[in-house]
Amino acid sequence: MIKVGVIGYGYSAKTFHIPLIETSEYMELVAINSSQKELVREQHPNIAIFDTAQALITSANLELIVITAPNNVHYSLAKLCLEHGINVVIEKPMVTTSVEAQELVDLAKKQGLLLSVFHNRRWDGDFLTVKKLLKNNQLGDVRYFESHYDRFRPTVRQRWREQAGKGSGIWFDLGSHLVDQAINIFGLPEALTARCLPLRANSQTTDYFHVQLHYENLEVVLHASSFSAAPNMRFRIEGTKGSFIKYGFDPQEEQLKKGISPVNSLYGVENEENYGRLYTEFSSTAIETEQGCYKQYYLEIAQAIKLGGCNPINPADAVEVLKILELAEISSESGKKMMISLAKNYEGLK
């Protein structure tokens, strides 16, 4: 069994990482670092609790550490883990700059350790469905791809993701998922144009984005709003053979929040009323959503550590995601189209 420690005990740790780790056949959660010691002890009475991340890293004799702390400390904590010979999974975004990301990639390679990023949305059922449609050429040559993550949250909340600071806001939070999905399918674009804005009253960071990724013969739009009270479109894809439209979110997050186990046979199964539709010139067909499977991420992490299998998220991909996130912020601030070639030797925002 791989002995695992988790740094942080906030939403992502409690909702995603801990349930997935605890139901893994190959992992054992043995340590948590959190300031909420009593809450952790109540919910995990047999797990060691550490006051500081540094103490967990240096004292717990772990094979894997999962970092779910705020984005601005990802780099320093991951670096310390790698320096102590410990494999690392980092909650997305990997870090707050592409320069820091590349430094971690280089350090992990030097140390011969696994470094991975929790881009779990690659295992969303709707995204798996989209990839299947494209693999089967059911849409023909794709010319337009639109990916949304809209919600109705018109009021600013008191939490670190909505406070001013590097790596905060929904562009780095939700945008990192949408960017990762887009480049996982299409690769890097040639250029991008972006608007990343604080639109809510008293907002201190980005709560809206509309980002266009420009490819040859293809346009990709990534969009998120905090003012969408209507049914939310997730994907719209248009190709030479037809179109696919999908509403609603993957059910796994809500299922995990309700305490449904990732090993339950109904976990990741979407209700029929939320199926997307494939439109051609002469027909309209409901497309059954593939079963989502976040547990696959940690299965592949275990195989990578114990058997030398492939890292489920190549950290080099996460570096490219960060370059896109950074260039989009520059585009939004300057009002200019940014060429992705600028990112090849990009040294990050100063």
Based on the domain organization, do 261 and 192 belong to the same domain?
Answer: yes
Based on the domain organization, do 12 and 160 belong to the same domain?
Answer: no
Whether 328 and 163 have beta carbons less than 8 Å apart is answered as no
Q: Which helix (H) or strand (E) holds 37?
A: helix 37-43
End-to-end CA distance of the chain: 43
* CATH number, position 35: 3.40.50.720
Domain of residue 288 covers 121-293+326-331
pLDDT at 168: 76
In terms of residues, how long is the chain? 350
218-224 β-sheet, strand order = 284-287, 276-279, 243-247, 233-239, 142-148, 218-224, 208-215, 191-197, 338-339
252 within some domain: yes
Amino acid at 119: H
User: What's the total number of domains in the chain?
Assistant: 2
Based on the domain organization, do 98 and 136 belong to the same domain?
Answer: no
253 within some domain: yes
pLDDT at 335: 96
Based on the domain organization, do 176 and 45 belong to the same domain?
Answer: no
Block means of pLDDT (10 residues each) for the chain, 350 residues, are: 97 97 97 95 96 94 97 97 98 96 98 98 99 98 98 79 74 96 97 93 88 98 94 97 98 98 97 97 97 98 96 97 96 96 48
Based on the domain organization, do 251 and 142 belong to the same domain?
Answer: yes
Query: Distances in Å between the alpha carbon of 304 and those of 115, 116, 294, 297, 299?
Result: 10, 10, 16, 11, 9
339 within some domain: no
pLDDT at 239: 98
Based on the domain organization, do 66 and 211 belong to the same domain?
Answer: no
pLDDT at 349: 35
> pTM of the full predicted structure?
0.93
Tokens found for residue 145: 């791809």
pLDDT at 279: 98
Nearest-CA neighbor of 125 among 334, 268, 242?
Answer: 268
**Alpha-carbon span 74 to 168, nearest angstrom:** 13
Nearest-CA neighbor of 88 among 250, 286, 318?
Answer: 318
226 within some domain: yes
